[in-house]
């Protein structure tokens, strides 16, 4: 198949070409896919997209007009696709459901350790010949209570790591996952999770029901000085509410790999430009906030798996054998 790859970086090209083995014809485009760039898909059978491409009604309509039959997402989340419109237009949407849960779970853990033990601040301090420990005081993870929202593949991988540290893990999910129980986590209702957790880590998808899940009301129910970690999707958090909670000490630590308005910021080198997002700029002023630019997925193993599953999804679509696990709109 002829596939137009959007939001393409050199690493996407490297890993897709390695896994492709001449099966499909890829054209790589750096811009995000949206209604302004959809024309680039002309002459292709499929588009291959990532987290910040916008597959709304306007974009999908154009893709349909250009004969696109498949959207092959090279990510797990699909909140950026209007599935109803895709369905109506007969465009199949495929995704990579489980490329490496370890990559994201381990990154959540890196944020926790970094925030708690201030390794990022120590890196700079030691380079300035400053070995003072002022502001470096951390806490033992051992014995602390970690609340996990969403016990799918990443949530379970994260539970196992936290149990390895000797944490008590409580979790919440509309569905009980026996693997979470086997890993030693205990299911509780949402309010108990907010009330008892020293660390809250979000591992659920962005859905209408989870948008701004962390807001003034839910923050009020949490422990003073709680550590909040979000490696899932930015809009799970109402950022302005969390900024207020950082200001009054309710949130003691904030670790983010995702941000609601990240589409205009992340994955690019903007160092020659002014930062125009005042909310993001305010977040950067807190020394107890650690932000990474949507890199939790970014390991060699994950990129290999993403490329392999994406190519297999395209092949299965062509053969009419895409299964329910990989097809989003069945
Ligand atoms: P998954 O589908 O295996 O698990 C998601 C879990 O969330 C499911 O068990 C589901 O029942 C649960 N859930 C749904 N609604 C919920 C709610 N209201 N409250 C609590 N739980 C709820 O997905 P996964 O592979 O574990 O991925 C989780 C999320 O991580 C993805 O949706 C994606 O947004 C994010 N992600 C981020 C990166 C990154 O690089 N930062 C990479 C991959 C995935």
- At residue 143, the pLDDT reads 98
Task: Label residue 198 exposed, middle or buried (CB < 10 Å: 0-12, 13-18, 19+).
Answer: buried
Q: Quick check: 255 pLDDT over 80?
A: yes
- Name the residue among 6, 108, 97, 89 with its Cα closest to residue 52: 6
CATH tag for 2-99+300-324 (out of 3.40.50.720, 3.40.50.10490, 1.10.490.10, 1.10.287.370): 3.40.50.720
d(CA 263, CA 259): 8
CA 60 to mean position of chain CA atoms: 23
Q: Quick check: 262 pLDDT over 90?
A: yes
Judge whether 262 counts as a catalytic residue: yes
50: left (phi over 0), alpha (psi -120 to 50) or beta: beta
Q: What is the mean pLDDT of the chain?
A: 96
Per-position DSSP letters for 90-113, written without gaps between them: T-EEE--TTS-HHHHHHHHHHHHH
- At residue 210, the pLDDT reads 97
Helix axes 10-20, 300-319, angle to 10 degrees: 50
Share of the chain above pLDDT 70, in %: 100
Q: Quick check: 330 pLDDT over 80?
A: no
Q: Is 148 in the pocket of ligand 1 (CB under 6 A)?
A: no
Judge whether 212 counts as a catalytic residue: no
- At residue 77, the pLDDT reads 87
Task: Label residue 4 exposed, middle or buried (CB < 10 Å: 0-12, 13-18, 19+).
Answer: buried
- At residue 257, the pLDDT reads 98
- At residue 168, the pLDDT reads 98
Q: Quick check: 329 pLDDT over 90?
A: no
Mean pLDDT to the nearest integer, 93-110: 95
CA of 178 to the centre of ligand 1 (A): 16
Q: How far is CA 1 from CA 48, 50, 55, in A?
A: 12, 19, 20
Residue 157 — very low, low, confident or very high, per pLDDT cuts 50/70/90? very high
Catalytic one of 203, 233, 238, 326: 233
- At residue 99, the pLDDT reads 86
CA of 233 to the centre of ligand 1 (A): 9
- At residue 197, the pLDDT reads 98
Domain boundaries, the chain: 2-99+300-324, 101-291
d(CA 141, CA 111): 13
Provide the ipTM. 0.99
CA of 273 to the centre of ligand 1 (A): 33
> Per residue in 18-67, pLDDT tens?
999 889 999 999 999 999 999 999 999 999 999 999 999 999 999 999 99
Q: How many helices (H) and strands (E) does the chain have?
A: 12, 12
Question: What is the atom index within ligand 1 of the atom nearest the CA of 233?
Answer: 34
Q: Quick check: 245 pLDDT over 90?
A: yes
Domains 2-99+300-324 and 101-291 share a fold: yes
Judge whether 168 counts as a catalytic residue: no
> Per residue in 286-323, pLDDT tens?
999 999 999 999 999 999 999 999 999 999 999 999 99
CA of 134 to the centre of ligand 1 (A): 37
Q: Mutate which of 154, 214, 255, 256 to test ligand 1's pocket (most atoms within 8 Å of Cβ)? A: 154
CATH of domain 101-291: 3.40.50.720
d(CA 233, CA 252): 21
CA 245 to mean position of chain CA atoms: 23
Mean pLDDT to the nearest integer, 239-243: 98
- At residue 229, the pLDDT reads 99
- At residue 21, the pLDDT reads 86
């Amino acid at each position: 198949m002829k596939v137009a790859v959007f939001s393409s970086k050199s690493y996407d090209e490297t890993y897709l070409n390695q896994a492709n083995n001449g099966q499909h014809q890829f054209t790589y485009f750096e811009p995000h896919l949206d209604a302004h760039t959809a024309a680039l898909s002309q002459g292709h059978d499929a588009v291959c997209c990532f987290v910040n491409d916008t597959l709304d009604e306007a974009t999908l309509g154009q893709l349909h007009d250009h004969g696109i039959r498949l959207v092959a997402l090279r990510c797990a989340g699909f909140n950026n696709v209007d599935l109803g419109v895709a369905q109506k237009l007969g465009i199949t949407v495929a995704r990579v459901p489980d490329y490496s849960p370890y990559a994201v779970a381990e990154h959540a853990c890196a944020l926790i350790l970094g925030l708690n033990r201030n390794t990022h601040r120590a890196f700079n301090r030691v380079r300035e010949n400053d070995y003072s420990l002022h502001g470096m005081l951390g806490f033992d993870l051992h014995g602390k209570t970690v609340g996990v929202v969403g016990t799918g593949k990443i949530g379970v991988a994260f539970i196992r790591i936290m149990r390895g540290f000797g944490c008590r893990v409580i979790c919440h999910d509309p569905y009980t996952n026996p693997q979470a129980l086997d890993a030693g986590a205990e299911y509780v209702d949402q309010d108990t999770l907010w009330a008892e957790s020293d660390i809250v880590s979000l591992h659920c998808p962005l859905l209408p029901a989870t948008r701004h899940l962390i807001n003034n009301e839910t923050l009020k129910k949490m422990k003073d000085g709680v550590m909040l970690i979000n490696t899932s999707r930015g809009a799970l958090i109402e950022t302005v509410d969390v900024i207020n909670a950082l200001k009054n000490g309710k949130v003691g630590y904030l670790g983010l790999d995702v941000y609601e308005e990240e589409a205009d910021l992340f994955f690019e080198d903007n160092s020659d430009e002014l930062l125009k997002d005042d909310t993001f700029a305010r977040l950067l002023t807190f020394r107890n906030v650690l932000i990474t630019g949507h890199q939790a997925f970014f390991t060699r193993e994950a990129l290999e798996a993403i490329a392999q599953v994406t190519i297999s999804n395209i092949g299965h679509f062509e053969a009419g054998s895409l299964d329910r696990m990989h097809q989003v709109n069945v």
